[in-house]
Structure 1
Amino acid sequence: MSAGASDLPLYRSIAADIQTAIERGDFADGVTMPSENELTARYGVSRGTIRQAFAFLRSTGVVSSRRGARRQVRSGPKVQSMTELVSFSRWARGLGETPSSRTLGAALAPASGVVAEKLGVEKGTNVFHVERVRLLGAVPTMLESTYYPGSLASLISVIDLDVESITDRLADHGIVFADAEHAIDAVAATPREAELLDLAPGAPLLRTVRRTTDPVGEVLECSIDLYAGEAVAFVVRNSLAAGATSRVSARTGD
């Protein structure tokens, strides 16, 4: 690539060249990118220009980076079905990915209005709050903020939250996550959320507010999860048969 190949700033031209290489298949999803030194030599520019190019690619979701780690090509959206209730860990392993977590906090906290409503408790009641960054491989994918009834605090507090699945460990105690309802919308990442998910501030996030119950309808959790918009896609399957009875009833009443 020649420096005068376009009217774009040099770092943008380099970013475009790298993105073209990714789209051409030179770098597969999840592959570590060449080092700054390698790209400096390849393009004949300063490290500062290469860093600007990567900052632009990161802001557009093409590559990801973590402090102290080499940059990686971001993989395409991972599809998550909303017709089956599975934990993040089981979903990730089903995709052939290695799930992990980075725990930000785990402690009793007063329930806000939304959380209190979902858990069926009075506002201000102490509930157990767990906040984690969930990763697929080395890529931050979801910021998870989950609230549990205070009665579960003693069981959850002894779980290795960076390694183990809360859902799986509670199942060992006969506590089964059976049914859930989700509300899904799109929000823009705050500066804190963007930093935790390795995104640019204002980047699109998919937010799910989930209320999960056990087989007899007891509420087990309220979770407010933020997914990197380019990392995950939700699939909802509908069936004509699901509403057949109501449609037949409506017709016979005409």
Structure 2
Amino acid sequence: MPKGQKKIPKYKMIENDILQNIKSGRYPKGAPIETEQELSSRYEVSRVTVRQATNNLVARGYLSRSQGSGTYVSEQKVVSRATTVKSFTEEMKAMGKQASSEVLDFRVVPASEEISRKLQLEIGSPVYHIVRLRRADGEPMMIETSYMSVVDYPDLTYERLSRSKYRYIEEEKKLTIAHSHHVVVPIMPTEEMIGHFDCDPASPLLKVFNTTYLADGNILDYTELVINTEKYQYQSIRQK
């Protein structure tokens, strides 16, 4: 190995090799790949190393797992490319899909220290706690948990949340959404997430922490998105 060159971890080499096999067509879309035992024998590594490689490919959207069945090359997924701030409804419409929202929880709570900091409100200020299951053509894509100021949006209703929250902000409130800041991390699914997504308990999901800002500099909301990586592939493109 040339001096100064970093050693590539074994799991990363396996991840890259499987990805190359997917792109070359050796593993067709929808087809199963070898079992963990078969892969560990082929690459002469532990099953833990193989699982790390395949977990990464599941999180990236190239593989999916079916509990009790195996690991498969993913079919075409809904892909989100975060270039501009768009609502989920707008994204799905652009892809020819019908978006829908199921409101799982909608109530007013006092802002905790963390939420008050995120929304730049005083601790204890009334905020909406909103949980929605977002679907595309009936398929569950994400669980969205949002917090918004009650004082700023006193007329927010269950009916409005069942449609498009951004449409309510832009068309009814006549406000302009400027930009959002988000952080993406992998997580393991909880029982609640497994129940909504019917996903493999051993496969990671993506969680997005998102703060959306209005053109006047005020914060619209703070949202945590849990993405069903077997159905919805999240990508971010940054422009210079």
Identify the TM-score tier after normalising by the shorter chain: 0.5 to 0.7
Q: Does 1:161 align with 2:161?
A: yes
Aligned partners of 1:23 and 1:109: how far apart in 2?
47
Matched residue type, 1:209: F
Aligned partners of 1:171 and 1:61: how far apart in 2?
41
Aligned partner of 1:181 in structure 2 is: 181
Aligned partners of 1:238 and 1:125: how far apart in 2?
35
Distance verdict in 2 for CA 1:116–1:75, change over 3 Å: farther
Higher Rg of the two aligned structures: 1
Aligned partners of 2:145 and 2:72: how far apart in 1?
23
Give the TM-score normalised by the residue count of structure 1: 0.63
Aligned partner of 2:89 in structure 1 is: 89
**Which residues of 2 match residues 1-254 of structure 1 at below 5 A?**
22-23=30-31, 56-57=68-69, 75-157=75-157, 159-162=159-162, 164-172=163-171, 173-239=173-239, 242=240
* 1:151 aligned counterpart, secondary structure: coil
1:159: how far off?
3.1
Write out per-residue CA displacement over residues 175-231 of structure 1, whole angstroms, 9 at most, x where no aligned residue: 222211111111111111211222233431111111111101011100001001222
1:155: how far off?
2.4
Aligned partners of 1:110 and 1:238: how far apart in 2?
36
- Contact 1:187–1:206 under 8 Å retained in 2: yes
Aligned partners of 1:124 and 1:183: how far apart in 2?
25
Mark the runs of 5 or more structure 1 residues left unpaired by the alignment: 1-19, 25-53, 63-73, 243-254
Q: Which runs of 4+ in 1 moved over 6 A?
A: none
> What's the C-alpha RMSD, in Å, of the aligned pairs?
2.7
Higher relative contact order at CA 8 Å, sep ≥6: structure 1 or structure 2? 2
- Contact 1:194–1:201 under 8 Å retained in 2: yes
Aligned partners of 1:55 and 1:186: how far apart in 2?
19
1:55: how far off?
5.2
Aligned partners of 1:119 and 1:21: how far apart in 2?
43
Matched residue type, 1:85: V
Distance verdict in 2 for CA 1:55–1:176, change over 3 Å: same
Identity of aligned residues (%): 22
Count matched residues. Answer: 180
Aligned partners of 2:124 and 2:71: how far apart in 1?
40
- Contact 1:194–1:203 under 8 Å retained in 2: no
